[in-house]
Structure 1
Amino acid sequence: MQHFVVVGGGQAGASLVAKLRSEGFDGKITLICAEPVHPYQRPPLSKAYLLGEMGLDRLMLRSEDWYTDNNIDVMLQTRVVELRPEEKTIILQGEVEMKYDELALCTGSYPRVLPGEIGGELDSLYTVRDLADVDLMAPEFEGGRNLLVIGGGYIGLEAAAVAAKKGLNVTVIEMAPRILQRVACEQTSDYFRDLHTANGVKIIEGVGLDRLTGTDRVTGAILTDGTELDVNFAIAGVGILPNTILADASGIACSNGIDTDLHGATSMPGVWAAGDCANLTYEGQRLRIESVGNAIDQAEVVAKNMLGQNVPYTPKPWFWSDQYDTKLQIAGLNLGYDEVHVKTFSDAPDSRVHWYFKGGKLIACDAMNAAKDYMVAKRLIEAGKSVEPAILCDENTNMKALLRA
């Protein structure tokens, strides 16, 4: 009987094992999870779960019974310490050897941490990546306390929104000239800066963190411009790194992630990769796509290819973020954009769409409270179609009709 092993209990790992079964694989499947719980949704952690609007049961991607019913062996609180691809063997903690016929690495990513010299070893400094992180910080979210968010990306801003809704005094610092600079246009940064400011969050841009202060816990912060802040706790949202530790050590080619070909195969025969850890090709560029949609889609293609179906993977990037009552939906990737066109709505001042163009071609959009425009944009971009900016920005345009043009 063939044995397929999947390392990583996140969205990609869970999607991959499910697809193996739905495609008819009747061999042995082992899913190895470092955490003590079965695979769960991660995006709600910094939003609905932290707010207390979603319980653990609703976070779960599938019930525990589903894995049993589908004969999938889930190993919780288990870590792989070594890969031996030439021997088709992995080594688990405790020097336990496990043989495989095909191996999929869905090891995801981990958060960057602050260096120890600027306070990275103090208690009450948190990151937002997994269930344990959020459970640990949740008691800190009491009204009237002072929270410092380090980093003005989506994770940091989502945590800031939750804290503000819970009545905390929130300061966000971003060392770049503007929040969201790495991932969004200036107009999107402006929208979310105004949104947070209207909800009482103080945003400081172009200023970094010199150091956190305190004896055991964080009690303050000194910024690079000399500003001193009183702080009860802090959240570092300064980016993530692909988890390539096992792949690197075993000689698998890695470059900002585990290098994969169009089918999800790595440089080692019989070893595949999917999700946040995988470096793939998108429109001629090597990159990683950090999203739920990519984790699911790529993992399902890899599952098919582990079964010999030889299916190429074509990414269709999409993302979302919930902050206060605003739902941001993103279609495409805005890499290299040279124009941004803005659509507003006379009857919905909180709605807006930012259309990204590159060389006259529509490549992405940010849709704030504009679900219809997002859905049309997603289909246009996936089909490689462009529409004149003036038409896209006219609130009277029949958006669905553009798909038939």
Structure 2
Amino acid sequence: MTSALRQKAAQMASAAAAAAAGTGCYSQTSWALRRLGAGGGALASAATRRRNCSVAAAVFDNQNREYVIVGGGNAAGYAARTFVEHGMADGRLCIVSKEAVPPYERPALTKGYLFPPEKKPARLPGFHTCVGSGGQRQTAEWYKENGIEVLYEDPVEAFDGKTQTLKTSSGKILKYGSLIISTGCAAARLPEKIGGDLPGVHYIRDVADADSLVSSLGKAKKIVVIGGGYIGMEVAAAACGWNLDTTIIFPEDHIMPRLFTPSLAKKYEELYEQNGVKFVKGALIDKLDAGSDGRVSSAILKDGSVVEADTVIVGIGAKPSVSPFEAVGVNIEVGGIEVDSMFRTSIPSIFAIGDVAAFPLKMYDRIARVEHVDHARKSAQHCIETLLTSQAKAYDYLPYFYSRVFEYEGSSRKIWWQFYGDNVGETIEVGNFDPKIATFWIDSDSRLKGVFLESGTSEEFSLLPKLARSQPIVDKAKLKSATSVEDALEIARSSL
């Protein structure tokens, strides 16, 4: 180390605040170079600056300060993999997480993780990212081997864009050159004053939540699931594996109201009822009551009726975790941090990915926020490719949703549906749900906008994204007269 560099490091160590304000060595300069695809000489100059500036990192609590990912969910794990693939992780990347474990495939928490012990439940480290897409299992050792610094159980609580620093709950001060916000969502909660925090009331967002719920399920007799969406349906299906008295309560007329048509929902409701699940529709919770032991004992509805329960699972949606990054720019309409088609925020060197990103949904020409693992994976990869290369291709996402339930041993029937596209327009339903059923959404111009399929073959499922992206003009009369799902899909295929 030169004497000049030693002197500089000493100055920064004695005046951390001033140093933080003056060491944005990687920020706008290297960000611009990466964006514009600067030549070898310019990149060499940037690399020299990085080496010189790395001396100053000693005053901060993260050694690898060029790139910082805030959040330890699905998107963070896939972003880390992309950094490694480009040879830009070792000694450069830091992940700051509120969780005690490395990123994992979060959908497992409401599916296989909730199976009873004798039915082979999923457990970590079995589903760390990126196994959900056929990739390597990224355990804590994987991050160490690839030179990635991970700060566990220490969420970011404060952010200063001027000094490019972050402060964690433990008081650590972290420096970044490029910041990737990957904070995801938090479960929407019932108010404490109506019993939302009683013992025996559960929310599922992380593995600690799932562990707590599994412990309750092992002792439970009667459970109430509040909410008829994704979480509610998946948790209720898992509860059937425990042979528990299960009731689902929700305010809508049918389950999965954001996607399912009434007719489609009825088929699934009948299947759940065959597995012993009871539905209370069009109902609102007035409060959750506690027994003499202080634990939840019942759900009291607005109409005064009472549903007994010793365990309650609340699945009423989620809210994007934008704090403490509101100043970066929050989209009021959809929530989340607004980004462009390459996941750049309005502030250079700051990106947002996954559930928390409000991004341009190119094929439908609107700003959207998608809470789904598929988008978390793809947005992470696209963002990091943009950050590390001269890629300038806009993110062109095709909405995709799926669910897999009743997959435990001994189940009378496993369920696996997939949906691609946009659920707008007239619907045409084909099939009898024994086992297949398909629903097609068609607009006023006879264009196919979205397609749903239950229990399809791999070949049939692979056709769905082609149809949804191409949006072909289909013959509605032929589709309505199709005598089987296979015939309907062939009619749709012939329209491509």
Report Cα offsets for 1:145-204 as digits up to 9, x if no partner. Answer: 000111100111110111122110001011122221123222222122111111110001
1:398 Cα deviation (Å)? 8.4
Q: In the aligned structure 1, how far is the partner of 2:114 from the partner of 2:230?
A: 15
Q: Tell me if the contact between 1:6 and 1:30 (Cα under 8 Å) persists in the aligned partners.
A: yes
Letter in 2 for 1:379: K
How far apart in 1 are the matches of 2:420 and 2:488?
19
Q: Which amino acid aligns with 1:367?
A: L
Q: Contact 1:171 / 1:204 at 8 angstroms: preserved in 2?
A: yes
Provide the secondary structure at the position in 1 that maps to 2:367. Answer: strand
1:31 aligned residue (95, 107, 111) = 95
Counterpart of 2:431?
344
Whether 2:389 is the aligned partner of 1:288: answer: no
After superposition, where does 1:8-23 map in structure 2 within 5 Å?
8-23=71-86
Pair 1:404–1:357, CA change in 2 (3 A): closer
- Secondary structure of the 2:236 match is helix
Moved more, 298-307 or 66-75: 66-75
CA deviation profile, 1:112-161 (whole Å, cap 9, x unmatched): 00012221121100011110011011122248700011110011111011
Q: Which residue does the alignment assign to 2:345? A: 266
Listed as ranges, the matches of 1:303-322 within 5 Å are 303-307=384-388, 308-322=390-404
CA distance in 2, matches of 1:3, 1:244: 22
Correspondence 1:72-151 to 2 at 5 A: 72-142=148-218, 145-151=221-227
Q: Work out whether residues 263 and 312 of structure 1, in 8 Å CA contact, stay in contact via their aligned partners in 2.
A: yes
> Is 1:201 aligned to residue 282 of structure 2?
no
SS in 1 for 2:296: coil
More moved, 358-367 vs 385-394: 385-394
Q: Within 2, Cα distance between the matches of 1:65 and 1:330?
A: 36
More strand as a share of residues = 1
Q: Say whether 1:369 aligns with 2:452.
A: no
Matched letter for residue 340 of structure 2:
D
Does the 8 Å contact 2:472/2:495 carry over to 1? no
1:23-43 Cα shifts (integer Å, max 9, x gaps): 342660011111000111111
Larger radius of gyration: 2
Q: Which of 169, 177, 201 is the equivalent residue of 2:253? A: 177
Q: Distance in 2 between matches of 1:128 and 1:286?
A: 27
Which position in structure 2 is the counterpart of 1:40?
104
TM-score of the two chains, using structure 1 as the length reference? 0.93
Q: Give 1:379's aligned residue.
A: 466
Identity value in percent: 27
CA shift at 1:278, angstroms?
Answer: 0.6
Matches within 5 A, 1:129-278: 129-142=205-218, 145-215=221-291, 216-248=294-326, 250-255=327-332, 256-278=335-357
1:369-404 superposed Cα distances (whole Å, 9 cap, x missing partner): 124433212112123334334555633538479279
Give the superposition deviation at 1:91. 1.5
Q: Distance in 2 between matches of 1:187 and 1:203?
A: 16
Answering whether residue 442 of structure 2 is matched by residue 357 of structure 1, we say: yes
Instruction: List per-residue Cα deviations over 1:50-94 (Å, max 9, x = no partner).
Output: 104222121212122221222111111121111112222111223
User: CA separation in 2, counterparts of 1:195 and 1:164?
Assistant: 12
Q: Give per-residue Cα distances to partners, 1:246-289, cap 9 Å, x unaligned.
A: 211x3433431111111101121111000001111211111211
Amino acid in structure 1 at the alignment position of 2:217: F
The number of residue pairs the alignment matches comes to 400
The equivalent residue for 1:332 is: 421
- Segments of structure 1 that go 5 or more residues without pairing to the other structure are none
Distance 1:356 1:177 in 2: 20
Q: Is the contact between residue 331 and residue 374 of structure 1 (CA under 8 Å) also seen in structure 2?
A: no
Q: Which amino acid aligns with 1:313?
A: Y
Q: CA deviation at 1:240?
A: 0.5
Letter in 1 for 2:123: G
RMSD between superposed Cα atoms in Å: 2.1
Give SS of 2:254's match: coil
| Separation (CA, whole Å) in 2 of partners of 1:34 and 1:6 | 12
Distance 2:177 2:100 in 1: 26
Q: Is the 8 A contact 1:158 1:323 kept in 2?
A: yes
Q: Distance in 2 between matches of 1:133 and 1:292?
A: 18
Q: Which amino acid aligns with 2:128?
A: M
Closer/same/farther in 2, CA of residues 103 and 64 from structure 1, 3 Å limit? same
